[in-house]
Amino acid sequence: MSEEAPMRRWVIGGVVVIVAIGALAVLASGMLPGGAGSAASPTPLPPVPASDRVVAEARAIPKARSAVTAAVPGTVSAVEVAEAERVAAGAVLVQLDPTSARAEVAGAQAALDAAKARSTQAAAAVRQAAAEVDRARAVVQSADAVRDQLPSGASSDRTRAANADVSAAQAGFRAAQAAEAGAAAAAKAAQADEARAAAVLDAAKAAEARLAITAPIAGTVAEITVAVGDVVAAGLPLVRIAGDDGWTFETTDLTQDEVVAIDLESPATVTVDGLTGPSIEGRVTRIDAVGEDLQGDVVFTVVVEPTGDVPDGLRWNMVASVEIARAP
């Protein structure tokens, strides 16, 4: 190898080092204060104006709604409606198996029929006993009349016989009265038995009626949670109905810092996710006084009621964005 090659490498390396040192000097002079190349001071950003609206997520909730439950446990024998079907108040939604209940009603009806028959017989006995009392009274009156018509000079035998007839008639009258009282007591007991049997029948019919689960309000069937053959417990929702009285929107994430910035009657604008058309105008109608914990935050439910038209297709629990004007 020639001696010129190491020399060229040394020269080239020296040039590189000199260039690097010069670059560092230039950079340093730009960063030093007062330097010819000093950087200009940053321009301050203008302050961001505070929003005049509070934005929250909400869900569409029917103003009138009902989660229909079974009053007693049972097995579903029929589902009489379908989801999205409109129903009138009192319409049967779900039928629980009425077989046992109908047998109870039939037995109670038979018992009532028998009690009514006994009551009818007892009433007839009272009427018959009353007629016997009337006859016995007439016998007494007749015996009294015979005795009163005896001549003043009648023999003692005739007088004793007349008195005996009167006594016998009076005894018969008292016996008839006692029989009437007994018949009346029996009739009263029969009536009580009839009333108890009627109450048992009413209870059996009411128990059967509870197996037909009906709509408490008019509206649209939003959800059905059971099918034929399901065994249901009392108190669990089987059908949900959205009433015909319109909609509200309930917020789900308003924090305490945000909720204090709004008032009742504050105007609001609602935009429902997935629905086209203009936003829904509304107003605040309720602000809950008690917050609930949500993943470490305390949130308050605020209800917005529409004041404008609500688009078709709105459904229970649809997600919406609500913008509420801040209180002045």
H/E segment holding residue 298 = strand 297-300
In a domain, 46, yes or no: no
Q: How many domains does the chain have?
A: 4
Residue 84 shares a structural domain with residue 220: yes
Is the separation of the CB atoms in 124 and 228 below 8 Å? no
DSSP three-state, residue 21: helix
- Domain assignment present for residue 47? The answer is no
3-state SS assignment for residue 66: strand
Residue 99 pLDDT class (50, 70, 90 cuts) = very high
Q: Domain with 224 in it: what CATH number?
A: 2.40.50.100
Tokens of 73: 């446990």
Instruction: Give yes or no: residues 251 and 278 share one domain.
Output: yes
Most confident listed range (156-160, 291-295, 300-304, 308-312): 300-304
Rounded CA-CA distance 287/301 in Å is: 6
* 40 pLDDT tier (thresholds 50, 70, 90): low
| Domain assignment present for 318 | yes
Tell me, yes or no, whether 132 and 205 share the same domain.
yes
Which residue from 256, 254, 251, 314 is spatially nearest to 280, judged by alpha carbons? 314
**Whole-number pLDDT of residue 171:** 96
Cα distance between residue 22 and residue 5, in whole Å: 26
Q: Is 325 in contact with 53 (CB distance < 8 Å)?
A: yes
Q: What is the arithmetic mean of pLDDT over 216-244?
A: 95
Segments forming the whole domain that contains residue 285: 53-66+241-325
Domain assignment of residue 48, yes or no: no
Angle subtended at Cα 282 by Cα 280 and Cα 284, rounded to the nearest 5 degrees: 145
Fill in the DSSP letter of residue 33. Answer: T
Q: Residue 211: which of 78, 306, 313 has the closest Cα?
A: 78
Same domain, 276 and 287: yes
171 and 146 fall within a common domain? yes
CATH code for the domain in which residue 57 is found:
2.40.30.170
Residue 45 falls inside a structural domain: no
Q: What pLDDT was estimated at residue 124?
A: 97
Q: What is the mean pLDDT of residues 318-326?
A: 95
88 and 12: one domain? no
Same-domain pairing of 216 and 93:
yes
Enter the tokens of residue 228.
């034929």
Is 179 found in the same domain as 104?
Answer: yes
306 located within any domain: yes
Q: What are phi and psi of 173, to 5 degrees?
A: -65, -45
- Indicate if 261 and 320 belong to the same structural domain: yes
122 & 108 share domain: yes
Whether 144 has a pLDDT exceeding 50, the answer reads yes
What CA–CA distance (Å, rounded) separates 325 from 282?
11
Distance CA 103, CA 213 (A): 19
Average pLDDT over residues 91-104: 97
Same domain flag for 296 and 266: yes
One domain for residues 5 and 57: no
φ/ψ (deg, to 5) at 77: -105, -20
Q: What is the model's pLDDT at position 294?
A: 85
